[in-house]
Chains A and B, each alone.
Chain A
Amino acid sequence: MAADEVRVAIKLGFSSGDITLIATAISELARNILSYARQGEILLRTVDGSNRTGILIVASDEGPGISDIRQALRDGFSTSGSLGMGLPGVRRLMDEFEITSEPMHGTTVKVKKWKQ
């Protein structure tokens, strides 16, 4: 799902393990957009910290939004199989995670991963 994005990450010099994690996060974010908002976009760019470089992924949609973000970030303990999937899963794969959502107006998830 993420070949182009992976190319960006390779260019930044991420390890192959990290690249897999970044690609997984993108896949999951894309999946989230498809299942809740049907369409949206995922943007990637490099970010420079004080003494480090990283990748910023912004996934945004204009779907129905999330009314209870805390609930959405909680793991689905009810069904053991889904534990760790979805947004909580994305949060674990990345270094920084930020979400804003407005009911009826859509959701934006910004995640960052810094190069080790």
Chain B
Amino acid sequence: MNEAVPEPMTQNPVEKGCEERYFQALRAYLEGAGEQALGQAYELGRTTVSEGKGILEFVAMHHAALQKLLSDHTTAGDATQVLRHAEEFLVEGLSPYEMTHRGFSDAIASLRHLNQTLEHEIQKIAHAVHDEAGQLLVAVHLALAEVARDLPSSMRGHLEPVTGLLDQLEKQLRRLSHELRPTVLDDLGLVPAIRFLADRVSKRTGLVIPVITRLEDRLPRNIETAVYRIVQEALTNAARHSGARNVRIRLERVGRVLRCAIADDGAGFETSAVLASQPRKGLGLLGIQERLSAVGGTLKIRSILGKGTELLIELPLEE
């Protein structure tokens, strides 16, 4: 077997310089250097954070330094005291990590909020397109009918193409509004919306799309939206690229996890190649992953050339 050389434990091992400085500062602190040494611990923590070093690497550096010091007889003395001071020093060095951790938590919260705002905006646009523009079109139809009534019958024929165009416009608006955000998702929830979507795609493409689920409850709105969008994207992919005849959608809730599997019997693909390539249209698999990570979910892709593709999505549900 061609065993690869074992990877080093970390991708960016803390540089020697850093380790040496940490060791020196820790020794100084244990020898009673006080505040000044603690300041160095803090600075080192800040440096490693901004260099993108992980918290475990930092702890490993501490561990190595402490081990070296403990085996050194010059620091022999009250072991409990040495350990207590070493811990103070470590906490000081780790506190910049606490700060960035809070920063990232806030950033994630902002992203989630932004996502919700965007969905809300989309909903408003969908409403404007469907209801408001739709009503205007109805008014135009009525006005045209009135004009037609007043026209001599020989002229009425000229209005027919206009009515035909208006009908087309209405259909397009309805389709657009639905693609933006189906009202059934807000009114009836995820499962009816997915069934409705499957039905439409099936009619348009000839794919057979059974939706298998016993899920009845409404789920948090952001979850419903995310899953709906993912299924929408997956069906688009299956219809466009896979050449499948059947796509099976399964939705189930297992404890606090919502599971959704979308499996087709199409051509399949090389997962790594597809994930690496830039999507040409829409967001594709990348979009699915982004949507999922916004709600803390995961995506698994199993694809076998000539056999088909299965997307397995798992999302945590809060109690």
Contact = CB atoms under 8 A, between A and B. Distances in A.
Contact of B103 (A1, A23, A31, A89): A89
B52 interface: yes
Contacts of A77: 107
A82 B46 CA distance: 8
A86 to B, nearest CB: 9
Q: On chain B, which size bracket covers the interface?
A: 20 to 34
Interface string A61-80: 00000000000000101011
A24 B100 contact: no
A27 interface: yes
B98 A85 contact: no
Residue in B38, B100, B107 with the greatest tally of chain A CB atoms within 10 Å:
B100
A92 B188 CA distance: 40
B99 A84 contact: yes
Interface in B51-104: 51-52, 91-92, 95-96, 98-104
A93 B39 contact: no
Interface in A1-55: 1-3, 20-21, 23-24, 27-28, 31
A84 B103 CA distance: 4
B92 A84 contact: no
A88 B91 contact: no
A99 B35 CA distance: 26
Contacts of B51: 81
Nearest to A86: B99
Specify the main secondary structure of chain B where it touches its partner. helix
Interface string B93-132: 0011011111110110000000000000000000000000
Q: On chain A, which size bracket covers the interface?
A: 20 to 34
A81 B42 CA distance: 15
Contacts of A104: none
B42 A83 contact: no
B148 interface: no
B50 interface: yes
B103 A3 contact: no
B49 interface: yes
Given A1-B35, A20-B95, A89 B102 contact: yes
Given A1-B35, A1-B38, A85-B46, A24 B52 contact: no
A27 B95 contact: yes
Given A21-B98, A24-B99, A80-B52, A75 B35 contact: no
B34 interface: yes
A85 B95 contact: no
Nearest to A80: B52
A87 to B, nearest CB: 11
A69 to B, nearest CB: 18
Contacts of A81: 49-52, 100
29 contacts: A1-B35, A3-B34, A3-B35, A20-B91, A21-B98, A23-B92, A24-B95, A24-B99, A27-B39, A27-B42, A75-B107, A80-B52, A81-B49, A81-B51, A81-B100, A83-B100, A83-B107, A84-B99, A84-B102, A84-B103, A84-B106, A85-B50, A85-B96, A88-B103, A89-B99, A89-B102, A92-B99, A93-B98, A93-B99
Given A21-B98, A24-B95, 9 more contacts: A3-B34, A23-B92, A28-B99, A75-B107, A83-B107, A84-B99, A85-B96, A85-B103, A93-B99
Top 10 A-B pairs ranked by shortest CB distance?
A84-B103, A81-B50, A24-B95, A89-B99, A84-B100, A92-B102, A83-B103, A1-B39, A27-B42, A84-B99
Interface of A: 1-3, 20-21, 23-24, 27-28, 31, 75, 77, 79-85, 88-89, 92-93
